[in-house]
Amino acid sequence: MSSITEGNAGQYGDSRKLAARARLHTEYTIAETGWFPWVAAQLLLKPADRVLDVGCGPAWFWAATAGLLPENLHLTLADLSPGMVDEAVARAAAHCPSVPCEAAGPMPPHFPSKTAPSIS
Ligand SMILES: C[S@@+](CC[C@H](N)C(=O)[O-])C[C@H]1O[C@@H](n2cnc3c(N)ncnc32)[C@H](O)[C@@H]1O
């Protein structure tokens, strides 16, 4: 295992350390619009888009923006950490049950050019 993947496993083996950092942002932010809704507005997703989220973490983004998502979105959630992928798929199933979702490891799966997904 390289030092990069070892470091990632220590930091992102699951969502606990990320949650501690996220809590600081939540408690001390002065932004009028939350980070996740702001990002969602920039993506300009359309119905039936296919989205590849590389480095999806625990999929908090998709849970937080479920009510803003267009119809028939298709998500592929990819992360270097298997623990994050497991958590992400479970969270997406719970919060975005109408959004078909597949899991992937760190390398983006092959997408034929005509079905290239949006990249978040
Ligand atoms: C700061 S977290 C962000 C999580 C999520 N995108 C969010 O905004 O809440 C970074 C994530 O990227 C993942 N990651 C780091 N290097 C990666 C790689 N080469 N391929 C896929 N995921 C990676 C980590 O495991 C971690 O879950």
54 lines ligand 1 (CB under 6 A): yes
Q: Is the CB of 15 under 6 A from ligand 1?
A: no
Is it the case that residue 115 has pLDDT exceeding 60?
A: no
- Mean pLDDT confidence for 13-23: 95
pLDDT of the residue at 5: 74
Does residue 82 have its Cβ closer than 6 Å to ligand 1? no
Has residue 60 got a pLDDT over 70? Answer: yes
CA-based radius of gyration for the chain = 15
Share of the chain above pLDDT 70, in %: 85
Average confidence (pLDDT) over 81-92: 95
- Ligand 1, atom 26, lies closest to the CA of 57
* pLDDT at position 6: 77
Q: Answer yes or no: pTM beyond 0.85.
A: yes
Measured distance CA(24)–CA(22) in Å, rounded: 5
19: phi then psi, degrees, rounded to nearest 5: -65, -40
Q: Give me the residue spans of the domains in the chain.
A: 3-119
Residue type, 64: A
Whole-number Å distance, alpha carbon 14 to ligand 1 midpoint, is: 11
Helix H or strand E segment including 63: helix 60-64
Question: Can you name the CATH fold of 3-119?
Answer: Rossmann fold (3.40.50)
Residue located nearest, by CA, to atom 13 of ligand 1: 55
CA distance 80 to 85: 8
How many CB atoms sit inside 10 A of residue 67's CB?
9
